[in-house]
Structure 1
């Protein structure tokens, strides 16, 4: 069937399906040291020369701390249902310990009230990578005490916002903030220690359990999940060794934080059975602490991975394989950040993850692409490439749903062009353009108008 004819066949979604957009505090708020906010690991990292492309930092970002009402109005104007945003831990608890910063909590009350007044569902993330620097100085995510501190922080946030917020995400992409921050060193806090990384994965799982229970203690009817970045792990070759490595990497990268929450144990076949407790710092009783009986599961998807067996690639048994973004295969187009565009991979990983999530509802908590299209002579942004990306991925998601995957929401990453971590402001994921150089003005892109039409029709053609 010709491409244009195929587009005329709409994929329709359930009447109660939710359309939304996502953001993260450090990436959009700015106001990094005002109203009592403490220093985060991303403040420290971005202020360190050579860590972020172009010397960029999040000191101002999108200035959403002062312009949040404008941002929420954009979500409302697009006719969407759900706004996912995060709480900056050091804005609430500057040093990661003790009582709350009243001005910080007041900001999130005002933001949440604005979201509710706009008729949107707040989907609030407790942790989107901005650990208080004082906790990092004490050992960070490799230190067990951080999990207890996270539980205290979750309790403060729940006490302040639990009457307003019913839907929560505990952690965003724990695989990424532990691996890039503690193993690869390319994100905050910039450490490179495989054993610290492994301990950090366990501490994050302990924190996930603490945070889940703190939220439920304040509001029993709240719905809680975490947002896991997942990808199909394709073997780089037809060899049995690469196939085994891809399966091992699937269990490690896609399941390492979900399986403990649902079952209290780590996936088999990754770390040696006789060494896993020591490598992770697993203590008696942790099997109970890590449990978080989620009400839904958030999944973030961007691009597949290619995996190959790499003997001697790590001094830790089980990690002797190498996975990387599946770029450079020569047969698929790429985003401007260099990731393969593979909507079939989206369908594949949704089908695979359903094997582990079972009956639990799934929310696509992030899906999007970096395309750096700028304004034309008329000031408008015609990012047709992003429209094509979203159309392909929404159709792939619809196919997975027709095959039984219980997806109930889709959140485009991101509402705004923002501070893209170590890439600084060089990569634009937003459906709203932000003029970082001059005015901070917001301009809805063609993709934003298209996404609004999809939400209004509850269908994609």
Structure 2
């Protein structure tokens, strides 16, 4: 690893901040959707809004030198007229300043899904009015925080956001409309270019990129029809974000296929394509959780079934895009989480090299982690499965760098347990445990101490494991002294 490699963890505003109606914040589309449907919500979440100093201290003590977080749009701008909320602006000044005071580099995502509901009621990302409002937000945050922040990203996972909201329909606004999916996707990528344009016009001192939900494409075999399905799937999952943001080019074969299927593309204007071409990102953030295994489409209608229910729905995911491809899950030969997420570190190694070869821009792994049901009631939280997962994926990054990839940072998802969208708070990702029933008490897991040693050793995992054991047993000694228990449970490392 390079000496200036960024080691940190990541959160998102709606998933961790809470304080949903405090200090001038207005509702987001998620607030409205979850409240109206009487679903578990992020009203309090991890209470990061009130406890960010405690959380940043834990990051510092955990060896982090960077923190990736997002800005809450409805906390900053409260209406269609663009009214700025000074308390919201001040909150992020305090958060950024606290990071810098503790030697932690802020890595900011401008939009991580919490669109103000006042914009959603006007059409959301189907409306170009939202693009204008987004540029106004960018202008505000660049001017407010631009002298403190070096790393900016325009969007977190625009593909996942749009497809979940407009195509699969399992996230707000909860519709299944392919034409709207195409329109919203285009508008977000145009907004990305407009944000980059504004960033450059202001001559900001830092760098600006985009964060993508990266699914490296694999085929079930090497038949010509499988290779074509893989290309269509790559356009669907990756290329319309990465090609557009990095190269300034929407994949032409994808547009031709959509037009051939009768979709209306007349909203794509030549002057907008010029803006996209001229305003490309400086780097890319890749969020990696799993590869995507593809088989050729055979017959039938589009099926978009995603497992948001954990173990009770394991094996229920099914994705068929009519006349494009079928995604398959090889449960017989791979390991999966209860949410049908394959654990496949080799996909990160190969995916990084794919992206490096194709795009040649700096890469940050902006999310990587594993969600699980966990019992966090005890004094000791042994999440050895998470340590194994992170170790194997960090090793994949190191191997990709040894083979020439320009990777500059790694962020564990997530800093602490948080609200995991439709999966609720039972799906835990954090290095730090939260008791959601007892005043959000923070409690570092075994993985926190292991990752601390990884950060401090700059990715030397053998030394990291040795140091982690020492730190972890020191913690156990303190716990045992406090509870008058003298024995250590050596089995936590078995």
The two structures share one fold, judged by TM-score above 0.5: yes
Q: Tell me, yes or no, if the aligned pair for 1:195 and 1:279 is still in contact at 8 Å.
A: no
Distance 2:155 2:359 in 1: 17
Contact 2:28 2:117 in 1 (8 A): yes
Query: 1:335 Cα shift?
Result: 2.5
1:91 counterpart residue number: 75
What is the SS of the residue equivalent to 1:183? helix
Partner SS state of residue 341, structure 1: coil
Partner residue of 2:212? 228
Superposed CA RMSD in Å reads: 2.0
Cα distance in structure 1, aligned partners of 2:53 and 2:173: 31
| Cα displacement (A) at 1:147 | 1.2
The superposition leaves residues 409-460 of structure 1 with CA deviations (integer Å, 9 ceiling, x where unpaired) of 0000100111101111120011110110112011111011100101111112
1:271-420, aligned counterparts within 5 Å?
Answer: 271-272=255-256, 275=259, 278-279=264-265, 281-291=267-277, 292-310=279-297, 311=299, 313=301, 320-324=323-327, 327-358=329-360, 360-375=361-376, 377=378, 379-420=379-420
Contact 2:248 2:280 in 1 (8 A): no
Unaligned runs of 5+ in 1: 1-12
Q: How does 1:151-300 map to 2 (within 5 A)?
A: 151-272=135-256, 275=259, 278-279=264-265, 281-291=267-277, 292-300=279-287
Q: Match for residue 449 of structure 1?
A: 449
Residues in 2 aligned to 1:188 and 1:273: alpha-carbon distance in whole angstroms: 27
Describe the superposition over 1:145-193 as per-residue Cα deviations: whole angstroms up to 9, x where unpaired: 2112111111111121112112101100011001001111111221211
Query: How many positions carry a matched residue from both structures?
Result: 440
**Deviations along 1:267-286, whole A, 9 cap, x unmatched?**
13223268389337201211
Aligned counterparts of 1:198 and 1:269: Cα–Cα separation in 2: 14
Which stretch shifts more, 302-311 or 221-230? 302-311
Q: 1:25-62 CA deviation, whole Å, 9 max, x = no partner?
A: 00000111111111111111211326xxxx31000000
Partner of 1:108: 92
| Residues 23, 85 of structure 1: 8 Å contact kept | yes
1:28 aligns with 2:16: yes
| Distance of 2:81 and 2:18 partners within structure 1 | 22
Instruction: Check the 8 A contact 1:202/1:280 in 2, yes or no.
Output: no
Structure 2 residue 103 is the aligned partner of structure 1 residue 119 = yes
Structure 1 contact 368–414 (Cα < 8 Å) conserved: yes
Residue 423 of structure 1 aligns with which residue?
Answer: 423
> In 1, are the aligned partners of 2:376 and 2:434 still within 8 Å (CA)?
no
User: Is the 8 Å Cα contact of residues 86 and 126 (structure 1) preserved in structure 2?
Assistant: yes
Is the 1:162–1:218 contact (alpha carbons within 8 Å) kept by the matching residues of 2? no
Distance 1:347 1:88 in 2: 32
Residue 97 of structure 1: how far off its partner (Å): 4.2
Query: What is the rounded CA distance, in whole Å, between the counterparts of 2:258 and 2:114 in structure 1?
Result: 34
Distance 1:394 1:134, change over 3 A: same
Q: 1:230 to 1:96 in 2, by over 3 A?
A: farther
How far apart in 2 are the matches of 1:236 and 1:149?
Answer: 43
Aligned-partner SS, 2:169: coil
Shift in CA distance, 419/323, structure 1 to aligned 2, threshold 3 Å: farther
CA distance in 2, matches of 1:96, 1:167: 28
Cα drift, residue 389 of structure 1? 0.3
Q: Normalising by structure 1, report the TM-score.
A: 0.91
Measured after TM superposition, the shift of residue 328 of structure 1 is 4.3
Q: Counterparts of 1:434 and 1:365 in 2: how far apart (Å)?
A: 22
- Separation of aligned partners in 2, 1:419 and 1:322: 32
Structure with the largest fraction of helix? 2
Cα pair 1:199 1:280 within 8 Å, conserved: no
- Bigger relative contact order, structure 1 or 2, given CA contacts below 8 A and separation 6+? 1
